[in-house]
Amino acid sequence: MQSWQAPGFAPPWTLMATKTASAIDSPSPADIDRCAYLLAKEREQKPERDELAKLKAKLQQQCESRPADLPVRLTGRLYYLDLTAREFRREITDKPKALALLRKAMGLDGLLWKLTISFKLLDAEIPADKQTGFVISERTGSRDVSGGLLQTPVAA
């Protein structure tokens, strides 16, 4: 292992994109260090976040009997908590009837253009080699970011 290389981390040149990046695209060392530091702080706070999630679930369950369309305020000795009204949700209970009415209102072509077909359904029913004529695959979206300390800080 080289002196610049931290255990478990790839050398910096392996992390570079295959496309040529200009100097404008290169993140500054200060931004990299700040991001890695904040990620480390975020990991340190995980026990508190887990405890918070459990407390929120407990309080929400205890307020289950309150009217769903009204917000709730809970008051402690030092703080208060506001819980919003419950989410308004709708569900289709008769899909064939809904589809028949939509087809009548929009026509079959209009309905097909508005439908969202899930890849879970598509992959379950149609082999990948037959999907090539109407499905494109590409990498999009953001990258996950993780980081770590390159070397132990020297005590002053």
Q: How confident is the model at residue 141, as a pLDDT? A: 84
Which residue ranges make up each domain of the chain? Answer: 27-83, 95-130
Q: 8 falls in which pLDDT band (50, 70, 90)?
A: low
Q: Is pTM, for the whole model, over 0.75?
A: no
Q: pLDDT tens for residues 28-62?
A: 889 888 989 999 999 999 999 999 999 999 999 99
pLDDT surpasses 70 at 156: no
Report the first-to-last Cα separation within the chain, whole angstroms: 26
Spatial separation of the C-alpha atoms in residues 40 and 55, rounded to whole Å: 24
Q: pLDDT tens for residues 80-114?
A: 999 999 999 999 999 999 999 999 999 999 999 99
DSSP letters spanning 62-109: HTTTS-TTS-EEEE-SS-EEEEPPPPP----S-HHHHHHHHHHHHHHH
